[in-house]
Copies of this chain bind each other. A is one copy, B any other.
């Protein structure tokens, strides 16, 4: 048994001083814990938070002829260092007929390597009969969410009839459908036109993926769900125009749930024009949808404050400079993705809580409780008896400097190099075991386990 003493326990509902008694992997009690025979973890002066959940990561993911550079070992070390105790990673359908083989491959890559718990979403890239037929089995396997891409034509994109089939089947199985909402056809054209016109630098990645096509695809996805009578989850909303389509759908009664990522709150499109690395530094900031004009940010903060958007994740998908250089002379070949999993909690606390935009409870809801509820991580997302003892101890006085030197992410740079926060994650426990403490990873690969997830309850 362990007991965390002296901290301020924060849940999405409330915050106050309390001890947390852990029995094995589970929280046994919260409150005034008398003398018990237990290892004491001192949390004086600290917030005791439910471990953060990052429901949007891509570890060891094949993309554009390479693989994202974090595997489930390095990536989950970084997660733990940043207070994240569970991830839900994307298994991608890489075989055209059916889903089970692809899931097995992802399970295989993750097995025995992770430090924090992990689940999978199943991304459907070919929604034919065989694939649809597998969806129930995937849900039965505890993979209760399906993702479709309306972008990446020729690679991941589904057509709207495929999308609708997935929604229909998800209605039957209880699975929740997640959507990457950008208009892949239109973007594909713009990319070809840009390249044909000699516009090859990283910043054209953003030029060719304008806000309007994110808004369009978002509105389309919401309409699809409206017809299917299902909820819908819109991943990585970046801008006002797209968020307004979600608001409009919700006003019509659609349970449209939107997520944004921490980069859309803290970085912007000008980062794609950074001129280091012989003019190619901007490639590090290439992700999809792209970083946006910073004029969107006040709205985006309002959107997470007022619950127009329910979750802040990372879309962690890291690539080294060498990998990014695949796109030298052709921005469309730059692997898409940012290295962020370690930084989310610190960034959201700094700019959200410390700067007065969010209460601690709302931050916890965005980082942990809402992802747990939406994604069926029934044992996680709060500090409550019976829950897994997934806990982040956050020291609000601890100065933190983002740096490659302190990053556990496998990339050879840090996007926030030199930026500072006051407040940082000090200690991270996953199912009662301390994974990260004061700068060190204490577990071996394999401590993290696959989590079977429940289906979404249908109420946001």
Q: List residues of A whose CB falls within 8 A of some B CB.
A: 9, 11-14, 16-19, 21, 23, 27-33, 153, 159-165, 183, 185-186, 188-190, 210, 212-213, 215-216, 219-220, 223-224, 226-227, 244, 247, 250-251, 253, 255, 298-299, 302, 305-308, 357-359, 361-362, 365, 369, 373, 381-382, 384-387, 457, 459-460
Q: In the complex, are the beta carbons of A31 and B32 less than 8 A apart? A: no
CA distance A62 to B285 in the complex (A): 51
Q: Which of A212, A215, A361, A385 has the most CB of B within 10 A?
A: A385
Determine the chain B residues whose CB is within 8 A of the CB of A250 once the complex forms: 247, 306, 308
Q: Given contacts A216-B223, A220-B220, is CB(A384)–CB(B16) below 8 Å?
A: yes
Q: In the complex, are the beta carbons of A16 and B223 less than 8 A apart? A: no
Determine the chain B residues whose CB is within 8 A of the CB of A159 once the complex forms: 185
Q: In the complex, are the beta carbons of B387 and A16 less than 8 A apart? A: yes
Chain A to chain B contacts (Cβ below 8 Å), 18 pairs: A9-B384, A11-B13, A13-B381, A13-B384, A14-B369, A14-B384, A16-B386, A23-B32, A29-B30, A30-B30, A30-B384, A159-B185, A164-B189, A210-B227, A244-B251, A247-B247, A307-B307, A361-B373
Shortest distance between the CB of A424 and any CB in chain B (Å): 23
Select A387's contact among B14, B226, B306, beta carbons within 8 Å. B14
Going nearest first, the 9 A-B pairs with the smallest beta carbon separation are A29-B31, A31-B385, A160-B185, A216-B223, A161-B189, A161-B185, A253-B302, A18-B385, A16-B386
CA distance A10 to B210 in the complex (A): 41
Q: In the complex, are the beta carbons of B384 and A307 less than 8 A apart? A: no
Q: Which of A162, A165, A302 has the most CB of B within 10 A?
A: A302
Determine the chain B residues whose CB is within 8 A of the CB of A19 once the complex forms: 385
CA distance A335 to B227 in the complex (A): 26
Determine the chain B residues whose CB is within 8 A of the CB of A23 once the complex forms: 32
Q: Given contacts A16-B385, A21-B31, A384-B14, is CB(A220)–CB(B216) below 8 Å?
A: yes
Select A17's contact among B165, B216, B386, beta carbons within 8 Å. B386
Determine the chain B residues whose CB is within 8 A of the CB of A220 once the complex forms: 183, 216, 219-220
CA distance A12 to B384 in the complex (A): 12
Q: In the complex, are the beta carbons of A212 and B223 less than 8 A apart? A: yes
Select A215's contact among B11, B223, B369, B373, beta carbons within 8 Å. B223
Q: In the complex, are the beta carbons of B219 and A255 less than 8 A apart? A: no
Determine the chain B residues whose CB is within 8 A of the CB of A161 once the complex forms: 153, 185-186, 188-189
CA distance A31 to B18 in the complex (A): 12
